[in-house]
A = this chain, B = another copy of it.
Amino acid sequence: MSSTKDIILACSLDQYLQDGYRGLSMRKIASKVGISATAIYRHYSNKEELFHQVIKNGFGTYTNYLLPATQEETAEKRFYKTLEYALDFVMDHPRYFELIFVKSDTKDELANHNDLRKDSKISFDFYTARINECIETGYFKEDHPGEVSALLLSSYIGFFSLYIGGLLPRSKKEIKQLYWRSVERIMSGIAVDSAATRNEIMK
């Protein structure tokens, strides 16, 4: 029971995922839907509103990838499943990933629309909640959950941003393995333990 409105949205997404923002024109969308360009205005008052919905859907999809992680039994497993599902998401929908995490068009939207900010915050809070659990169970060091969450999300976004941009030229299989090795590095640290030395140098 998908209304024309939904079909327009889906095709906009399609079009965006295929050609990027520059390929997202009302006419192309309309032709993909099979209606006239002007018909879109029946459902969305202008391009901005339409694109707004597209982004909203993007966040929704991402969230739907993550949520099942909550069904795992232990905090540790919930944490790792979250990482795994986030990996699945970017592997399944690389341009989706771009849409919500990389594109500046999206960031402009985020800056101007509170509802999208809320959506985007969900993923962040989801990470934070998982991390919090791990700290509480003693699996993670005592730390500030939000900041750890920021670190993990940063690494995730930066990592796949490089990959999608072609700056980590590996096969899908290799990139997955590298992803997990990177996770492991963040878990255990890359430096031989000498926090004292570091503090001194870092001032």
Residue numbers of A with Cβ under 8 A of B are 20-22, 76-77, 80, 98, 101-105, 107, 110-111, 120, 124, 134, 138-141, 143, 147-148, 150-151, 153-159, 161-162, 164-168, 178, 180-195, 197-198, 201-202
Q: B139 touching A102 by the CB < 8 A rule? A: no
The 3 nearest A-B residue pairs measured at CB:
A158-B158, A189-B189, A154-B158
* Contact present for B151 and A76 (CB under 8 Å): no
Task: Point out the residue from B104, B155, B189 that lies within 8 Å of A98, measured CB to CB.
Answer: B104
Q: Which secondary structure characterizes the binding site on chain A? A: helix
How far, in angstroms, from A157 to B165 measured CA to CA in the complex? 12
Is B185's CB under 8 angstroms from A187's CB? Answer: no
Give CA–CA (A161, B161) in the complex, Å.
10
Q: List 24 A-B contacts (CB under 8 A).
A: A20-B105, A76-B201, A102-B161, A103-B104, A110-B167, A139-B192, A139-B197, A140-B191, A148-B190, A150-B159, A150-B182, A153-B162, A154-B159, A154-B182, A156-B158, A157-B157, A157-B161, A161-B161, A180-B202, A184-B195, A185-B186, A187-B191, A188-B195, A189-B190
Number of copies: 4
Q: Select one of B21, B120, B150 contacting A178, CB under 8 A.
A: B150
Closest to A120 in B: B167
A22 CA / B155 CA spacing, docked (Å) = 28
For the complex formed, measure the closest distance between the CB of A17 and the CB atoms of chain B, giving whole angstroms: 11
- Residues in chain B near residue A155, CB distance under 8 A: 151, 154-155, 158
- List chain B residues, Cβ under 8 A from A202: 80, 180, 183-184
Query: Which residue in B141, B182, B187 is a CB contact (below 8 Å) of A147?
Result: B182
Cross-interface CB contact of A187 among B150, B187, B190, cutoff 8 Å: B190
